[in-house]
Amino acid sequence: MLPAVLLSLNIAHMPNFDLDPDYRAFIDSYLAATRLSTATSVAQQRADYQYVIDRFRYPYPAGIDTDDSRIDGRHGPVPLRRYRCARPADQTTRILFVHGGGFILGSLDSHDDICAELCARSGYELVSIGYRLAPEFHHPVQLDDVEDGFHAADRGRSILVGVSAGGTLCAALGHRLRQAAARPAGQVLIYPSLGGDCFDLASYRDNAEAPLLTTADIRFYRGVRCKDGIIPAGDAEYYPLVAADFGGLPPTVAQSADIDPLRDDADLYVQKLSAAGIAAEWINEPGLTHDYLRARHMSRRAGEAFTRVCEAITRLAREAGAN
């Protein structure tokens, strides 16, 4: 999920959130690059988002190679991008990455440099899955595409990594595949949207006007994902937090930003997994907002958060291998 309604022209006019000082510079730079708004057309939002991608794109680490391909999914071709490092740490583990963008933005290119760095830092091959976007396609098409990509790329151990809306889809895929023969070995969910607005969680009030993502933005993205804006009640594949049963889900690390309406989604999800006997950990990052991965080279604290993502992937893969 990415920013939509930016309510002021300067971070100084935002509510007085306790932002980490060097991260505040990232916010200023972000807002100077573009001002995405749900008041504009989807086409304009996508064009504005491209400015963000270009502004915070970093070179690949040395030794990373990629190739693009397409698979035949149930709704048509699904694009994949495969990242490999020169000296892989483990030939049997793959990261399956699902990008964010509020279900209306994003592509294989929107998190391309992040994927390259995850591959380099972990030593694992990474496959990024491109899914169809709303409003042209509605739920559950996005999840169907991700599932088709999973089955095409899954060999050995697969660790799902999802960012924002991608975190929603990874968690939803875990629910869909609970009883399947081929299931994820673990999942890392980074500031995921999991349906916490159904539970009146405090972060939706405390961070309602947070920089880069507001509670109003979440409501917009929630509606545009569904045909005619009708949200399916009790559908764990739409909002994983509303599931009746959390058994059989993969070991999970859910990482949130403290200054984000979605913060408490990650906390509640981990509580529900833990209550079902699933190994799960919540990591909350203080002083950061939604989309902090883009600040990993501008902010020390964001860089440390990115390191924790890489460590979580490696730990889940090793524990899966040991078991």
Lowest mean pLDDT of 7-16, 115-124, 209-218, name the range. 7-16
Residue 10 CB neighbour total at 10 angstroms = 9
Q: Where are the chain's structural domains?
A: 11-322
Q: Choose the CATH number for 11-322 among 3.30.420.140, 3.40.1710.10, 3.10.450.30, 3.40.50.1820.
A: 3.40.50.1820
Single out the residue of 158, 164, 227, 222 nearest to residue 187, CA to CA.
Answer: 158
- Write out pLDDT tens, residues 31-64: 887 776 667 788 988 998 888 999 999 999 999 9
Please check the confidence at residue 30 and state whether its pLDDT lies above 90.
Answer: no
Name the DSSP class of 240: G
Q: Is 0.85 topped by the overall pTM?
A: yes
Collapsed DSSP state (helix, strand, coil) of residue 96: strand
For the ranges 1-5, 150-154, 239-243, the maximum mean pLDDT occurs at: 239-243
Regarding beta strands 76-85 and 64-73, do their DSSP bridges make them parallel or antiparallel, or are they unpaired? antiparallel
